[in-house]
A = this chain, B = another copy of it.
Amino acid sequence: MASDRFDILFVLGGARSGKSAYAEMRARQTGLDPIYLATAQALDEEMRDRVARHREDRASDGWKTIEEPLALTEAIGAETDRSRVLLVDCLTLWVSNLMLAERDIPNEIERLISRLRKGPPGPIVFVSNETGLGIVPDNAMARAFRDHAGRLNQRIAAMADEVVFVAAGLPLVLKTAR
């Protein structure tokens, strides 16, 4: 069902769906040196704990970790070594960071897509949250976030050679090259 060769693999899922663990497994299966590109910003203690716990979990497995909350496109461009696989976790946190920093999000998305069109330097796994399957949020900021995140998910899914939805730790293939 799943191939161990891909240019862009897109892993979509809910909170605590097991999407990151699935993405890490797929990155590992490439046999390439894995780089974890974390978009998380530790703004409070709850987040700091989560980020640190995840970093520790990976450290013992020989992952290199890069933390980049905003300049994702540049960070992807800087990784020119074709012998590695890049795991970006996750796109929705990136969108959230861009909103907090008051960046022009449609423009940032276009820049990311343009960079990917040139071809990523090696295989890349994107992890993202599906956030549009609950009730319409009360506040306009959350609605705007949901719109940006949904549009970005569509763009990445369109470019990916494989798209997998993860629920309760189980993968459901939405798109596959073969």
A residues touching B (Cβ–Cβ < 8 Å)?
Answer: 10, 12-18, 46, 130-137, 140, 142-143, 145-147, 149-151, 153-154, 156-158, 163, 165, 167-170, 172, 174-175
Picked from B135, B165, B170, the residue with its CB within 8 Å of the CB of A134 is B135
State whether B154 touches A16 (Cβ < 8 A).
yes
Rounded to whole angstroms, the CA-CA distance of A103 and B150 in the bound complex is: 32
Rounded to whole angstroms, the CA-CA distance of A94 and B169 in the bound complex is: 20
CB-CB < 8 A to A16: which residues of B?
A: 132, 146-147, 149-151, 153-154
- Identical copies of this chain, number: 3
Query: Interface majority SS on A: helix, strand, loop or mixed?
Result: mixed
Can you list the 6 inter-chain pairs with the closest CB atoms, starting with the nearest?
Answer: A134-B134, A16-B150, A14-B132, A15-B132, A157-B168, A133-B133
